[in-house]
Chains A and B, each alone.
Chain A
Amino acid sequence: MSGARGNGGEPVVRTERVHKVYHLGKVEVEALRGVDLVIEDGEYVAIMGPSGSGKSTLMHIIGCLDSPTNGEYWLDGEPVSSLRGRRLARIRNRKVGFVFQNFNLLSRIDIVENTALPLRYLGGMRRGARRQRASAVLEKLGLGDRLRHRPDELSGGQRQRVAIARALVNDPSMLLADEPTGNLDSDTSKEIMKIFRELHSQGHTVVTVTHDPNVAAEASRIINITDGRVES
């Protein structure tokens, strides 16, 4: 898991005039109104903004969960704004590592299987190899003695560490964390923030989306979103 991407100096994220329009019945809602954004390789960035500002929409587009209505987006130098469905899913799988506020772990399977989930969709790896790689990542995050446990047998902080391991297992271009400490107490939050800081120092690109100034303060750069625009 090296942080260096070796993509010829291309920024990890580059957007040009990204617009996103939702249709709620007959009402058009313009969630993003021309976002220009560059996140360089190895950066630690926090995206901040009040609710309704469009920061979630921006995160969905950056994370390739959604496509812009207008404008261009290059992820790791690859144009992805016109991709849909299966091809977008592949990009998501290889280039984005999601960390969710609610962890979103599958409670029925052990944490190794949870961590190995992105490898399943990557394809081409046998189950044994997948488990092996997942276990290695979990060990790095200090969960080596819990491999056979299920998520509901772990504490909140441990669960979020499993989620981080899952995000890292495919060696993505960036880690995209949506309110990663929103469901954690302050001590545990500090522990998780420390992990992000360490990953950043190892060369990983980390993007957190938050409205918590303490979380944002950890980042080396803060991007503020208001009314669907990036404040400069």
Chain B
Amino acid sequence: MNILESVAAGIDEAREHRGRTFLSLVGLTLGTASIIAVLALFGGAQRQSEDFLAEVGGAGSVIVRNDLGGRIELTPREAASPQLTWRDVLDLREEAPHLKYISGARHWYLRYTGPRNSFEGQVVATVPDYAAINDIEPLYGRFITEMDLEYRTNATVLGYSFADSLFGSPEAAVGNVITIGQERYNVVGVLTREEFHFAAWSGNAFEYRNRRAYIPLTTALKRIAGDDKLVWLTLEATDPMHLETAISEVSDVLLRRHRVRDFSFDRSSEDIAEGTEFFLLFDFIFLIVGVISLFTGGVVIANILSASVVERVREIGTRMALGASGFDMFMHFLIQSLFITSVGGLAGVLIGSALTSTVEKLMQFPAHVTPGIFFLGLATASFVGIVAGIYPALKAARMDPVEALRYG
């Protein structure tokens, strides 16, 4: 008896024992579906956190902070250091060849007054590179340019929500004038509306970006701050490979200017790596849970098949008398088990995929069943089929035809 005939026999068997087959299928299907859904959802959660980190300040970008170790009493050198300043940015632009972007910023809360509205809100004073690092794009007009920095212009770029509430509609803002604090600014651009939801029911995590305006850093330092201090700098290397080189270049320049190490570096990519490890652990735990439930299904199948072998001793004897070898009977039961579990596995994979895409749609959650997850689910179910089938199949194969024919 060849393999195809055993498959046919397995299909016959499944068809002849519909109720029994159905019951074992339910267990397997649920087990596989849970593995698929869990892997897909956790894969999605992981990707989402990476997306978020990339958007807020990016994988591969490094933040330089003023860092005095939290002490209030300063050494004379520390006290003498100017700390991070606009001059640092200008020098770094010249002297750190492996920097692609460098930005610094200052924030204030000031009163906005436009033709339609007046309110308090955040003002971010920054440089053109800020847009590149933070992936910001103007919807209308432009972002802050080098010219704005050089001439300390009164240009402002509005976040989407601010443009909307100050002018009634975002497209009406460009070319008009608003007051921020004591100064009048020309609106030169409005930014694209930014949106990010961790889940459908949670608010827009990026709404704060729509509720602010950007002005040139040099303008703000002269008109609002009166000094050139910065709280932090964000930088990106020309290539992720050169990140460490870029950091040491920056470190050298800052040490020379400050004469003391009063700054530190934050690599956001390290956070992502930690987050990934965390999710891998969860993947593993849930995978184990899914596998255990699948194996429970497998034990049920082994049980049912064992009962089926006992029930059919005489039939096995007859088949053997007609020329079936022990191996034929072994294959008969093994393939039968493999067939049932594969069908259950396939159904489970499909249900798991459907479940995942439902979650994806209803909750705006970026879960995704990858081909790897798909085949892992199928392979696990098939493996369970083989393991569950071996005992009953061996039992059938080892039967003595004479004893089997006499049975019952």
Contacts and interface: CB of A to CB of B under 8 A. Distances in A.
A93 interface: yes
Nearest to A167: B322
Interface in A83-115: 85-86, 89-90, 92-94, 98, 100, 104, 106, 108-109
Interface of B: 1-2, 5, 8, 12, 16, 314-315, 317-328, 400-402, 405
Contact of A98 (B322, B327, B328): B322
Interface residues of A, number: 26
B402 A65 contact: yes
B320 A123 contact: no
B37 to A, nearest CB: 37
B1 A106 contact: no
Nearest to B318: A104
B405 A100 contact: yes
A133 to B, nearest CB: 15
5 contacts: A89-B320, A90-B325, A93-B323, A104-B314, A120-B5
A121 B323 CA distance: 6
Interface centre among A60, A66, A89 (most CB of B within 10 A): A89
B235 to A, nearest CB: 72
Pairs of residues from A and B, 5 with the lowest C-beta to C-beta distance, nearest first: A93-B323, A121-B323, A89-B325, A86-B325, A104-B318
A128 B271 CA distance: 65
A121 B326 contact: no
A109 B323 contact: no
A66 B406 CA distance: 13
A89 B16 contact: no
A121 B324 contact: yes
Interface string A193-230: 00000000000000000000000000000000000000
Given A108-B12, A121-B1, A86 B402 contact: no
A63 interface: yes
A166 interface: yes
A117 interface: yes
Contacts of A141: none
Nearest to B400: A66
A166 B402 CA distance: 19
B327 A121 contact: no
A121 B16 contact: no
Interface centre among A65, A86, A108 (most CB of B within 10 A): A65
Contacts, number: 67
A78 to B, nearest CB: 15
A138 B370 CA distance: 54
A104 B317 CA distance: 9
B327 A93 contact: no
B12 A93 contact: no
Contacts of A117: 319, 322
B315 A106 contact: yes
B405 A104 contact: yes
Given A106-B315, A120-B1, A121-B1, A66 B402 contact: yes
A92 B12 contact: no
Contacts of B318: 100, 104, 106
A123 B326 contact: no
B176 to A, nearest CB: 82
Given A104-B405, A123-B2, A98 B321 contact: yes
A170 B324 CA distance: 13
Contacts of B324: 89, 93, 121
A154 interface: no
A118 interface: yes
A121 B317 CA distance: 14
A60 B405 CA distance: 11
A38 interface: no
A109 B324 CA distance: 17
Given A106-B315, A106-B318, A117-B322, A89 B405 contact: no
